[in-house]
Amino acid sequence: MNTFPDIDFDLGQYIDDFVNWLTDNLGVVFDVLSDAIIWSFQLSSSFLLWLPWWVIIAIVFLLGWRLIRLWTGVMFAIFIFMIGAFGYWELMMDTVSIILASVIISLIVGIPIGIFMAYKDRFEKFMKPILDAMQTMPTFVYLIPAMMLFGLGVVPGMFATIIYAIPPVIRLTNLAIRNVSKEMVEAADSFGSSTSQILFKVQLPQALPTIMTGINQTTMMALAMVVVASMVGAQGLGLEVLSALQQIDIATGFEAGISIVFLAIILDRLSQSVAEKYKYTD
């Protein structure tokens, strides 16, 4: 009675067969997707590397100053300068490019899904367990199908980053639209506004602070995937941390690790301050 019955349900094999089927039958689709991801990465990377280093430091300083306060801008500028002094300027640009491209793709896909969830209760019930699985699944698991579908390099790393980072913006967009005052929506409806007018002129402006919080969370989760994505060949600071770990190089590991922390602080504070500016005051 204490022995589990001899039942063999090989779910993993079915998933493996499904991924193989996707590879065999939808190769063209994944090639197009791969080209789009590479293009977005190369575009942002080329632009960031084209800008002189002092221009980037000046932009970060101005953002910190205008969005938060003067000393925060000075601190951000020092952080960026220190990363460059560590010898990681180009790697930092690669990391920022991966995060930037992943977040933009996540927003393009995630915000419409969140809006659709807010309008369709059945779709929300369908999506919730999927989003739960996406957020609780160990991040390393995403790398396996990503490698099978896209091979090694930046693309599988960005694909896994998008899958991991997209749930917050979907959830918070859905929540934000649902929390818009019903009286306000009914008033707009009574004045003859169409569904699209109610969405773009009433619901989205009211929901913007919560959506901005979702963008902040998506950005931080994309940054959290930097080291994991490097395991499949994604360039950037994460690859340096991984290399230092394999070689037990404490100095390199600390410099690369603290550089990621500096980026996390800057991105978090800037995106939080933008979200704060969109909050309504009573």
Tokens representing 227 are 């080291």
Long-range contacts of 256-260 (CB under 8 A, 24+ apart): 256/86, 256/88, 256/91, 259/82, 259/83, 259/86, 259/88, 259/92, 260/95, 260/223, 260/226, 260/227
Does residue 21 sit within a domain? yes
Ranges under pLDDT 50 in the chain = 282
Q: What per-residue confidence (pLDDT) applies to 279? A: 64
| pLDDT reported for residue 280 | 57
Residue 1 lies in a domain: no
pLDDT digits (tens, 9 = 90+) for 136-169: 877 777 777 777 777 777 788 888 888 888 899 9
Asked whether residue 4 is assigned to any structural domain, the reply reads no
Residue 2, in any domain of the structure: no
Q: Residue 233 has what DSSP assignment?
A: T
Cα separation values, 191 from 184, 185, 240, 243, Å: 11, 10, 58, 62
- Residue 164 in domain: yes
255 assigned to some structural domain = yes
Chain mean pLDDT for the chain: 83
Domain assignment present for residue 212? The answer is yes
DSSP 249: -
Q: Provide the domain count of the chain.
A: 1
The verdict on residue 142 lying in a domain is: yes
Residue range(s) defining the domain that contains residue 22: 11-279
The pLDDT assigned to 282 comes to: 47
CATH of the domain at 118: 1.10.3720.10
